[in-house]
Structure 1
Amino acid sequence: MKIHPESFSARPALWKRGFKALNANRALYLLLLPGLLYFTIFKYLPMAGIIVAFKDFNLGQGIWHSDWIGFENFRIFIEGVYFWQILGNTIIISLYKLLLGFPAPIILALLLNEIQASWYKKFVQTVTYMPHFLSWVIVYGMMVALLSPGDGLINQWIKDSGFQPISFLSEPQWARFLVVASEIWKDLGWGAIIYLAALAGIDPSLYEAARMDGASRWRQLWHVTLPGIRTVMILMLIMKLGHILDAGFEQIFMLANAFNQEKIDIIDTWVYRAGLERMEVGLATAVGLFKSIIGFIMVILANRIAKKFEAEIW
């Protein structure tokens, strides 16, 4: 391979152009700097702690001096008594949330987009996204006020109708339903904001052309509206698939009790008990790393499938 001398002489010019471009856009790079610092300090630097997953962590010895045990923590978790139960609960709850919760904000956004009265549209949008700002502690308190078997509002209606009250919060058969329903209710309006922004970006001339061709409202929805937001839909789906094993720690932690735990005990709650209650930090880190790897694989697969079939779907 021949090395041309002029290639070395061109390097100072490249550096000069690079610094010139950096100086010209310095305001944009300064705006980017806080985000880069955040991800560096709180996302990338803590990745060094992954090594704990491969060690018998001892608080007195520290991370670097604890004994190296390789994949022993992973073996303990996979061969554990509750592995298939918590993995199954996590996947089932996540799939329910994906299948029922993913289309819900899309449907709400499409309905809001059809409303002509702007004041009513803003009112509905405000009412639906306000629950997003409530903590799960407050949401659980509201659920207790509504579903308590003693004096809950819904159970009062049930008793007034001549039926026996239902212990919604403790009976296992209601546990997953409450988890999925409360998640959808809480994040429905907030998720719709993204799709409303995407709908606002559709060229109105496309609707005019469709109407001139005699397309009905349903045809306009299928051939103009949905293709106009499909990129956002695919992006949101990929992001949700990346969190397929994140079934919602705070929500499950609040709703779980001794009666329904077998139905809604997930990986995150198990990690909490192992890492903080039993101080098995190495085991908890290994489980967290296992979950992250599965999420990373799901993102890659979903991205490739979306690119492959995007043209065929529409």
Structure 2
Amino acid sequence: MNHKQKQKRGWAEAIRKDWILYLMILPGMLYFLIFKYGPMFGLITAFQDYNPMVGVLKSSFVGLKHFRRLWSDPKFLQIFANTLRLAVYNIILYFPLPILLALLLNELKNEKLKGIIQSVVYLPHFVSWVVVAGICFTLFSSQSGALTGVLSGIFGRDVSVLSEPNSFAPLITFQVIWKETGWGTIIFLAALAGVDVQLYEAARIDGANRRQQMWHITLPALKGVIITLLILRMGSFLNNGFEQIFLMLNSMNREVGEVFDTYVYQMAIKNGRVSYGTAVGLFKSAVCLILVLITDKIAKKAGEEGVF
């Protein structure tokens, strides 16, 4: 029996022995195959002049035509800058907040109070972006917004948050912070649950206060998780979220609010330029992949394990 036959036999025995476990992962595998890997077949349209009447396989091949059109489009630099601005805001302002909140929750000794706070901060995650946009319209409407009058009084002039271009990026970032910060603490709290309590006891015996324990024990315990999540975050660095941005766009802020996600919808769905829209989406994904590989390499050079 050669090595390949032994390997196949080993796989068969493992599946027969733990078939229930393999059955449990089957729904997850089907989800990724159908909704993640299956649509990749459509990426070929980025290199075609796709004609829905003849299908993908019979549409004419045009190479990099749509990519060259994208890079020469006058709107390309503007859309790229808008997307990059929101992505940087999310990394700088949003990414550290779940870590900070998890550290604060970890310091709570009253388990009942901790559970109540966790439930409250988790709730916004389950609110749809449609509802979030509705809340913003209610609060900041130029006609009857609950906070519009307050802001106008503070700045001494009429303030229209929803239509002022300079307010778009901070508003979008604030929505993400309000909706996702609490939910983002889950993985950090899970990591903190695995920290050996004897380390804290030994630190207290040595005279370390709460701040020193957090700095020398808690944060090092989270370092690996933080770096891993940061690397994975680079994979969606340019994904600003179509639904959220689309709901907040209007004729006054479109110039600073149009991002790759909404541009793909505009080109592929509304204008029927499927091949061009696919090329835009593929370009964005390629940039994110490069960022993941670069971040992973930097992490490894810094002595961390990385992802790959």
- Relative to the length of structure 1, the TM-score reads 0.92
Q: How far apart are 1:307 and its partner, in Å? A: 2.0
Cα pair distance change 1:16/1:194, threshold 3 Å: closer
Q: How far apart are 1:202 and its partner, in Å? A: 0.7
Letter in 1 for 2:19: R
* Bigger Cα displacement from structure 2, 85-94 vs 302-311: 302-311
Which of 256, 260, 280 aligns to 2:253? It is 260
Asked if 1:190 corresponds to 2:188, the answer is: no
SS of the residue 1:65 aligns to: coil
Asked if 1:118 corresponds to 2:111, the answer is: yes
CA distance in 2, matches of 1:122, 1:277: 46
Report the counterpart of residue 171 of structure 2 in structure 1.
178
Asked if 1:157 corresponds to 2:140, the answer is: no
SS of the residue 1:63 aligns to: coil
Q: How far apart are 1:41 and its partner, in Å? A: 1.8
CA distance in 2, matches of 1:179, 1:66: 39
Bigger Cα Rg: 1
Asked if 1:248 corresponds to 2:211, the answer is: no
Matches within 5 A, 1:4-43: 8=1, 15-43=8-36
Asked if 1:71 corresponds to 2:64, the answer is: yes
CA distance in 1, matches of 2:247, 2:303: 39
CA distance in 2, matches of 1:270, 1:264: 10
SS of the residue 2:50 aligns to: strand
Which of 234, 238, 261 aligns to 2:231? It is 238
CA distance in 2, matches of 1:269, 1:287: 11
Q: How far apart are 1:165 and its partner, in Å? A: 3.5
Letter in 2 for 1:126: S
SS of the residue 1:153 aligns to: coil
CA distance in 2, matches of 1:268, 1:162: 33
SS of the residue 2:73 aligns to: coil
Cα pair distance change 1:52/1:223, threshold 3 Å: same
CA distance in 1, matches of 2:107, 2:282: 44
Cα deviation digits, residues 247-285 of structure 1 (max 9, x gap): 121111011111111112101111110001110000001
Which of 107, 110, 118 aligns to 2:100? It is 107
CA distance in 2, matches of 1:82, 1:295: 20
Report the counterpart of residue 266 of structure 2 in structure 1.
273
Where does the alignment leave 5 or more consecutive residues of structure 1 unmatched? 1-7
Report the counterpart of residue 5 of structure 1 in structure 2.
none
Cα pair distance change 1:13/1:96, threshold 3 Å: closer
Letter in 1 for 2:256: K
Cα pair distance change 1:69/1:212, threshold 3 Å: same
* Bigger Cα displacement from structure 2, 269-278 vs 163-172: 163-172
SS of the residue 1:168 aligns to: coil
Cα pair distance change 1:82/1:123, threshold 3 Å: same
Contact 2:46 2:275 in 1 (8 A): yes
SS of the residue 2:161 aligns to: coil
Report the counterpart of residue 40 of structure 2 in structure 1.
47
* Bigger Cα displacement from structure 2, 216-225 vs 149-158: 149-158
CA distance in 1, matches of 2:106, 2:239: 31
Q: How far apart are 1:163 and its partner, in Å? A: 3.8
Letter in 2 for 1:147: F
Matches within 5 A, 1:295-310: 295-310=288-303
RMSD, aligned CA: 1.9
- Relative to the length of structure 2, the TM-score reads 0.93
Aligned-pair identity in percent equals 43
CA distance in 1, matches of 2:217, 2:300: 20
Letter in 2 for 1:289: L
Q: How far apart are 1:90 and its partner, in Å? A: 0.5
CA distance in 1, matches of 2:2, 2:185: 55
Letter in 1 for 2:77: W
Letter in 2 for 1:101: Y
CA distance in 2, matches of 1:118, 1:306: 35
* Bigger Cα displacement from structure 2, 93-102 vs 36-45: 36-45
Contact 2:50 2:274 in 1 (8 A): yes
